[in-house]
Amino acid sequence: QVQLVESGGGLVQTGGSLRLSCAASGRTFSSKSMGWFRQAPGKDREFVSSVMPSGSITYYADSVKGRFTISRDNAKNAVFLQMNSLKPEDTAIYYCTAVRGGDYLQPLSWTYWGQGTQVTVSS
């Protein structure tokens, strides 16, 4: 059974930092893209960032570019999201995802999902 388990969410003040982790089990994702989406209350799930299998090619939403950094450790079957200079508008549930089959911006392109971790940024 494939599982993606996120951790590292929490409550932080504006300008603070958090590091999200996603541990995968049940299969290896070293040859597959992995990524992060988020969903705020009342809003659609939106793309945050993704990373290609080698780890050297990354994509970011404009809203997080320059503040968030995605990375992966294929030996540990894990992906990470370092979030700096957090803003209240970053408040959302953050979801780890893996295996992309189309447009990386679209949630439907991704096959596997974690349960999510809450990130709350206070003003």
Question: By C-alpha distance, which of 59, 64, 77, 72 is closest to 119?
Answer: 64
Instruction: Report the alpha-carbon angle 39-99-2, nearest 5.
Output: 90
Which residue has 């971790």 as its token pair?
A: 117
pLDDT in the model for residue 101 = 87
Blockwise average pLDDT, block size 10, the chain, 123 residues: 97 98 96 97 97 95 98 97 98 95 93 98 95
The DSSP call for residue 8 is -
Which residue has 């995605």 as its token pair?
A: 70
pLDDT in the model for residue 93 = 98
